[in-house]
C-alpha cells in the first residue's frame, strides 16, 4: 500500500495571516519586483523581490489545506514555473514595481499587496478562504487586470475587466484567534508547510504515474487486439489465391456482368460460389485477388513482429503499473526511476530538449537536412541517410525524402532504421549504390552480422503511413527485393566516410 497524504491540515487562519502581514510589511517595504511566476498545475504565485541586493521569494499558495502567504526558503527551478499569456501579462505589469504596503483585512483571511508600478498604483488582492482561494491583480480603482480564476456566485461576479469586491464578511469570521506559529512567524509558516507540499507532490506524482501506466495499458491492449485481427485477415491470402486461380480457369465460362459464379471446388466435394462485382471484368477481379493476397502476405511478417513487440511492451507495462501501486509515496528515487521507465515505454511523452543557439548552428551547418541523421556517401557519390530512432525514421521517410528518392528497409519484418538514397531528378541508382544502401539497412537493424539478408526497396513516394500506426511504422508499396550479403570491405568503406560512431 502507498502512503496517503499528510493528515488533514488547514491553511492560515485570519489571525495567522495578520501576523504574517505584520512581519512582511517592514521586511519587504520598498522591495522591487524582479520576477513573478505561476507554479505549474496550481494557482500559486511566486513573487521574487529584491531589496538592498538581497532577493526574497514570496510564496502565495492557494488551496484550502495549504493556503498561506509567506516568504519561503524553497528555490524553484524553471520547470516549476508555468508559462503562457497570463504569466507573461503578470510579469509585464509587475516587473520593476515597488512594494509599498501589505494590508491585511481585519478578522478575515484576506490580504492586499500594494505596488507602485511604472503604469500607476496596483493592488494584488489575495483571498485564502474557500476551497480554491483567489488572487486578483487590480488597478487603483479596483478594475481587475488579471485573476487566478473567474468567480460567479450569488453574491459576486469577478473576471478580468470587472471591479474587484470581496464577499460579505461571514458571521463566524475572526472567531478563531489562536495561532500555531511563534515569532518569527514567516519562517515558522514556511517550515510547517514545505514538507507538506513535498509530501503532496510525491503523492500526486505516484498517482499520475499510476494513471499514465493504466491508460497506456488500455491503448496497447486495443493495439494488440487490432494486430491479432490483422493477422487473422492475413490468413485469407490462400483463399484469395484459390479464388483467383478458379476465376482464370473458368474465365471463358463467366458471362459479362455476372454477380457470382459457381464452380467445382478442387479442394473438396461439391461446388464453390465466388462473388463478383458486375462492373469489374473477371480477369481484373482475379488480378485484384492476387494483389490483395500478396499484400496480406507482405504484411503478415510485419504484423507478426509488431504483435510480438506490442505483447512484450504490454507485459512490461503491467509489471510497471503493479510496481507503482506498491511503491510508497515517500520513495522519490523509486518513483523517478519508474517515471523514466514509463517514458521509455511511451506511456509518458518525452521532454523536448531546448537546443542551444550554438548547437543549432552546428547542426544546421553539418547537416543540411535539418536533422541529426546518420549520413553516408555511396561509391557513386550519392547521399545515403539513415534514421536513428522511430521518430526520426518517420521524418526521414515522410518529410525529408523526396518522391523519387530510393527508400530501403531490412526485410522479413525485422526492426531496423529507414534508409534513403538521395537521387537527383532523372537519375537512377546503380547496383553498387543499391548494395551500399542495402548494406547500411542491414547494419543498422536487428539483422546486423547475418551473412545474407533480404532488403526491400521502393521509391519514397510509395511509402505511406496509415492513421493509427506507431512511430517508425510505415507501409511501402510496389516494393522490390535485393539480397545483401555481408561484405566487410564495403561496410568499412561506408563507415569510414562518416564521423558516425559505430
Do residues 247 and 273 make contact, with C-beta atoms less than 8 angstroms apart? no
Local confidence pLDDT in tens for the 502 residues of the chain: 444 444 567 899 999 999 999 999 999 989 999 999 999 888 999 999 998 889 999 999 998 889 999 999 998 888 888 888 888 899 999 999 999 999 999 889 999 999 999 999 999 999 998 889 999 999 999 999 999 999 999 889 999 999 999 988 775 555 667 889 998 999 999 999 999 988 988 998 999 999 999 999 999 999 899 888 877 776 678 888 888 888 998 888 899 889 998 888 776 668 888 899 999 999 999 998 888 888 777 777 777 888 898 999 999 999 999 999 999 998 989 999 999 999 988 888 765 544 444 444 444 445 556 578 999 999 888 999 999 999 999 999 999 999 999 999 998 878 999 999 999 877 888 899 999 999 999 999 988 888 899 999 999 999 998 877 888 888 898 999 999 998 888 998 898 865 443 3
Nearest one of 309, 321, 310, 315 to 212, comparing CA atoms? 321
Eight-state DSSP code of residue 413: T
Phi, psi of 262 (to 5 degrees): -110, 120
DSSP state of 401: S
Conformation bin of residue 42: beta by default, left when phi > 0, alpha when psi is -120 to 50: beta
Which pLDDT belongs to residue 361? Answer: 47
Distances (CA, A) of 385 to 359, 425, 436, 440, 479: 20, 17, 11, 9, 19
Q: Which three cell numbers stand for residue 402?
A: 523526396
Q: Minimal CA–CA distance to 439: which of 424, 429, 454?
A: 454
- CA nearest neighbour of 468 among 259, 220, 177: 220
Residue with cell 480564476: 149
pLDDT at 324: 94
8 Å CB contact between 320 and 342: yes
Q: Which residues contact 11 (CB under 8 A, 6 or more apart)?
A: 61, 63, 64, 65, 66, 67, 68, 109, 128, 133
- The cell for 279 is 462492373
| Residues 397/401/407/413 CA torsion (nearest 10 deg) | 0
Q: Is the bond into 184 cis (omega within 30 degrees of 0)?
A: yes
Residues in a beta bridge with 45: 38, 60
Q: How far is CA 286 from CA 246, 296, 474, in A?
A: 8, 15, 27
Say what the pTM is. 0.56
Domains identified in the chain and CATH numbers:
14-170 (2.30.310.10), 204-344 (1.10.287), 371-496 (no CATH)
Cell numbers 516549476 correspond to: 80
Given a contact cutoff of 8 angstroms between Cβ atoms, the answer to whether 347 and 317 are in contact is yes
pLDDT at 354: 45
Cβ proximity of 335 and 203 under 8 Å = no
Give the DSSP H/E element, type plus range, for residue 260: strand 260-264
Q: Which run of H or of E encompasses 47?
A: strand 45-51
pLDDT at 352: 52
Rounded Cα gap, residues 461 and 397, in angstroms? 9
Contact of 203 with 296, CB cutoff 8 Å:
no
Give 59-111 as a DSSP string. EEE-STTT-EEEE------GGGEE-SHHHHHHHHHHTT-EEEEEEEPTTSSEE
Beta bridge partners of 99: 115
Amino acid at each position: 500500500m502507498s502512503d496517503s497524504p499528510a493528515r488533514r491540515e488547514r491553511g492560515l487562519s485570519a489571525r495567522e495571516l495578520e501576523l504574517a502581514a505584520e512581519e512582511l510589511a517592514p521586511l519587504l517595504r520598498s522591495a522591487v519586483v524582479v520576477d513573478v511566476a505561476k507554479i505549474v498545475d496550481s494557482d500559486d504565485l511566486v513573487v521574487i523581490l529584491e531589496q538592498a541586493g538581497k532577493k526574497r521569494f514570496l510564496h502565495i499558495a492557494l488551496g484550502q489545506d495549504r493556503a498561506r502567504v509567506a516568504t519561503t526558503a524553497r528555490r524553484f527551478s524553471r520547470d516549476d514555473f508555468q508559462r503562457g499569456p497570463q504569466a507573461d501579462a503578470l510579469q509585464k505589469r509587475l516587473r520593476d514595481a515597488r512594494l509599498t504596503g501589505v494590508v491585511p483585512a481585519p478578522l478575515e483571511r484576506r490580504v492586499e499587496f500594494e505596488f507602485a508600478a511604472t503604469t500607476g498604483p496596483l493592488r494584488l488582492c489575495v483571498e485564502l478562504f474557500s476551497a480554491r482561494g483567489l488572487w486578483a491583480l487590480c488597478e487603483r480603482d479596483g478594475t481587475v487586470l488579471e485573476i487566478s480564476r473567474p468567480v460567479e456566485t450569488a453574491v459576486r461576479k469577478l473576471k478580468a475587466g470587472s471591479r474587484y469586491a470581496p464577499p460579505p464578511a461571514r458571521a463566524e469570521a475572526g472567531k478563531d484567534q489562536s495561532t500555531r506559529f511563534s515569532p518569527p512567524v514567516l519562517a515558522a509558516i514556511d517550515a510547517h508547510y514545505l514538507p507538506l507540499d513535498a509530501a503532496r507532490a510525491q503523492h500526486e506524482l505516484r498517482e499520475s504515474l499510476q494513471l499514465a501506466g493504466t491508460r497506456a495499458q488500455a491503448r496497447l491492449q486495443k493495439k494488440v487486439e487490432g494486430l491479432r485481427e490483422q493477422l487473422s485477415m492475413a490468413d485469407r491470402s490462400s483463399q484469395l489465391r484459390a479464388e483467383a486461380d478458379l476465376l482464370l480457369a473458368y474465365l471463358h465460362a463467366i458471362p459479362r456482368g455476372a454477380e457470382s459464379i459457381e464452380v467445382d471446388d478442387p479442394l473438396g466435394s461439391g461446388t464453390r460460389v465466388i462473388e463478383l462485382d458486375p462492373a469489374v471484368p473477371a480477369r481484373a477481379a482475379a488480378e485484384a485477388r492476387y494483389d490483395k493476397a500478396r499484400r496480406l502476405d507482405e504484411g503478415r511478417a510485419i504484423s507478426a513482429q509488431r504483435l510480438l513487440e506490442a505483447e512484450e511492451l504490454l507485459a512490461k507495462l503491467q509489471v510497471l503499473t503493479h510496481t507503482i501501486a506498491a511503491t510508497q509515496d515517500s520513495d522519490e528515487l523509486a518513483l523517478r526511476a519508474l517515471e523514466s521507465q514509463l517514458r521509455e515505454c511511451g506511456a509518458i511523452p518525452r521532454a523536448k530538449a531546448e537546443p542551444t543557439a550554438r548547437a543549432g548552428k552546428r547542426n544546421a551547418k553539418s547537416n543540411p537536412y535539418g536533422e541529426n541523421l546518420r549520413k553516408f556517401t555511396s561509391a557513386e557519390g550519392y547521399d545515403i541517410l539513415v534514421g536513428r530512432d522511430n521518430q526520426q525514421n518517420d521524418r526521414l521517410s515522410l518529410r525529408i525524402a523526396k518522391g523519387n528518392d530510393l527508400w530501403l528497409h531490412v526485410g522479413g519484418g525485422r526492426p531496423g532504421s529507414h534508409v534513403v538514397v538521395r537521387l537527383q531528378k532523372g537519375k537512377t541508382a546503380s547496383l553498387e549504390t543499391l548494395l551500399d544502401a542495402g548494406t547500411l539497412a542491414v547494419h543498422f537493424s536487428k539483422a546486423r552480422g547475418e551473412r545474407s539478408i533480404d532488403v526491400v526497396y521502393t521509391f519514397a513516394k510509395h511509402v505511406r503511413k496509415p492513421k493509427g500506426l506507431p512511430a517508425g511504422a510505415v507501409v511501402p508499396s510496389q516494393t522490390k527485393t535485393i539480397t545483401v550479403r555481408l561484405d566487410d570491405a564495403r561496410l568499412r568503406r561506408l563507415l569510414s566516410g562518416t564521423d558516425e560512431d559505430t
